Amino acid sequence: MSIAIPTSNRQFYKILNDEDLLSQLLREQNLIQRHDQHKCHCGSLMTGGSRKKRLKGGTIKTYPTMRCVNRDCRNQINARKNTFFSYTDVLGRPNCKLDISTIFEMIWLWCQEIPASRIAALVQVSQPTVVDWLNFLREVCQEAFNDATQMGGVGKIVQID
């Protein structure tokens, strides 16, 4: 069963606080790599998985991954590699220090038109980092808007086969 895109805070935070639901939603929306659309370099199929990592403070984070089904290979790739979530800043530094749920929450709050200073306080990330991400989000939206214009105009339905 697929997950509906949340339209209320309650739905959103239910998903955000459940690592399995969050991974599923991100996969379905093609925001992280889908194992069923990816092959390992060895030629084998990949399966969806997760990797746990202990952070300095002792908290354990779970990352969505893709794992090779070939037992001799066992290659594991971070599912956010080469996606929106692996965005690097202007200096080329990866912003991977933020976990996906933090980024996703920032996007949610940004969509509610909450100012950057308030987002920074709510997600407990420094304001420059939030501003950096919001600029990036605006660029992504602008590009999507430009693409839509080229593909037949904003407001028209574009059929993709």
Taking the least distance from each CB to Zn ion, the nearer of 45 and 144 is 45
CB of residue 45 vs Zn ion: minimum separation in angstroms? 9
Which of the 8 DSSP states describes residue 4? P
Residue for token pair 């509610």: 112
Taking the least distance from each CB to Zn ion, the nearer of 81 and 138 is 81
CB of residue 68 vs Zn ion: minimum separation in angstroms? 3
CB of residue 113 vs Zn ion: minimum separation in angstroms? 44
First to last CA, the chain: 23
Residue for token pair 């919001």: 134
Q: Is 154 helix (H, G, I), strand (E, B) or coil?
A: coil
Which of the 8 DSSP states describes residue 23? H
Taking the least distance from each CB to Zn ion, the nearer of 62 and 70 is 70
CB of residue 30 vs Zn ion: minimum separation in angstroms? 22
Taking the least distance from each CB to Zn ion, the nearer of 38 and 118 is 38
- Long-range CB contacts (< 8 A, 24+ apart) of 96-104? 98/125, 98/129, 98/133, 99/61, 99/63, 100/22, 100/26, 100/32, 100/63, 100/64, 101/16, 101/22, 103/133, 104/16, 104/22, 104/26
CB of residue 62 vs Zn ion: minimum separation in angstroms? 22
Residue numbers at the binding site for Zn ion (CB under 5 A):
40, 42, 44, 68, 70, 73, 75
Taking the least distance from each CB to Zn ion, the nearer of 39 and 138 is 39
